[in-house]
Amino acid sequence: MGNRSCPPPPAPTVAFPLPLSTTALLFPRRRLYRSQVPIRGLEVWAALEDMTWGPDNVRKWSTLALLAIMGTALTAATDPGFVAMISQKGLDFACQQGAAELQKELQTINVPDFSGVFKMKHLGRGSYEFYSMDVNRFYIPNPEIRMLPSNGLQLFIKGASIQINGKWKSKKNVLKASGNFDLSILGVSIFAELTLGSDPSGHITTNCSHCYSHIDSVRIKISGSMLGWLIQLFHKKIETSLKNIIYQKICKIVRNSVSSKLQPYMKTLPVITRVDDVASIDYSLVAPLTTTDQFLEGKLRGEFFWHGHRGSISFDPPVMRFLPNNDYMVCMAISDYFFNTAVLAYQESGTLKITLGDQLLSKDDRFQLNTDFFGKFLPKVAKKFPSMGVQLLISAPLSTHLSIQPSGLSFKPKLETQASVVLPNASLVPLFLLVLKTNASLKVDAEENRLVGEMKLGRLLLELKESNFGHFKVELLEDVINYLILTIVLPKINERLRQGFPLPLPEGIHLINFMIYSYQSFLLLEADLYRT
Closest CA to 124 of 265, 257, 230, 14: 230
Give the pLDDT score at 58.
37
pLDDT for residue 234: 66
Residue 400: pLDDT band by 50, 70, 90 thresholds?
confident
Among 196-205, 293-302, 414-423, name the one with the lowest average pLDDT: 196-205
H or E segment to which residue 266 belongs: helix 263-266
Q: Answer whether CATH 3.40.640.10 is correct for domain 25-49+353-531.
A: no
Query: Contact at 8 Å (CB) between 125 and 75?
Result: no
d(CA 64, CA 145): 11
> Phi and psi at residue 264, in whole multiples of 5°?
-60, -35
Instruction: Tell me: pLDDT of 418 over 60.
Output: yes
Residue spans of the domains in the chain: they are: 25-49+353-531, 90-266
**What tens digit of pLDDT does each residue of 316-342 get?**
999 998 888 889 999 999 998 998 898
Global pTM reads 0.76
Residue 270 burial class via C-beta count within 10 angstroms: exposed 0-12, middle 13-18, buried 19 and up: middle
Task: Name every residue whose Cβ is closer than 8 Å to that of residue 188 and which is 6 or more positions away in sequence.
Answer: 157, 159, 160, 161, 162, 213, 214, 215, 216, 250
- Asked if CATH classification 3.15.10.10 holds for the domain at 90-266, the reply, yes or no, is yes
Greatest mean pLDDT among 29-38, 282-291, 426-435? 426-435
- Return the amino acid letter for 377: F
Asked whether residue 69 carries a pLDDT value surpassing 70, the answer given is no
Q: Indicate if the pLDDT at residue 496 is higher than 90.
A: no
pLDDT at 352: 82
Phi, psi (rounded to 5 degrees) for 81: -95, -10
**Position 118 pLDDT exceeds 80:** no
Tell me whether the CATH fold assigned to 25-49+353-531 matches the one assigned to 90-266.
no
Higher pLDDT, 87 or 293: 87
Residue 45 clears pLDDT 50, i.e. is over it: no
pLDDT in tens, 73-106: 333 447 899 999 999 899 888 888 888 888 888 8
Each residue of 329-375: pLDDT tens digit?
999 999 989 988 988 998 889 888 888 887 666 665 667 888 988 88
What's the confidence (pLDDT) of residue 36? 31
Output the DSSP codes for 384-430: HSTT-EEEEEEE--SPPPPEEETTEEE----EEEEEEEE-TTS-EEE
Helix axes 235-257, 88-106, angle to 10 degrees: 120
Lowest mean pLDDT among 25-29, 183-187, 276-280, 291-295: 25-29
Residue 443 pLDDT exceeds 80: no
What is the percent of the chain where pLDDT is above 90? 20
Closest C-alpha among 242, 61, 69, 228 to residue 155 = 61
CB under 8 Å to 69, separation ≥6 — which residues?
Answer: 84, 204, 269, 283, 298, 504, 506
Q: How far apart are CA 67 and CA 379, in angstroms?
A: 67
Strand order in the sheet with 353-356: 353-356, 389-395, 415-422, 428-437, 461-467
Give how far Cα 46 sits from Cα of 71, 125, 211, 274, 314, Å: 31, 87, 51, 18, 23
CA distance 128 to 220: 14
pLDDT at 64: 46
Beta-carbon count within 10 A of 528 CB = 17
**157: confidence class by pLDDT, cuts 50, 70, 90:** very high
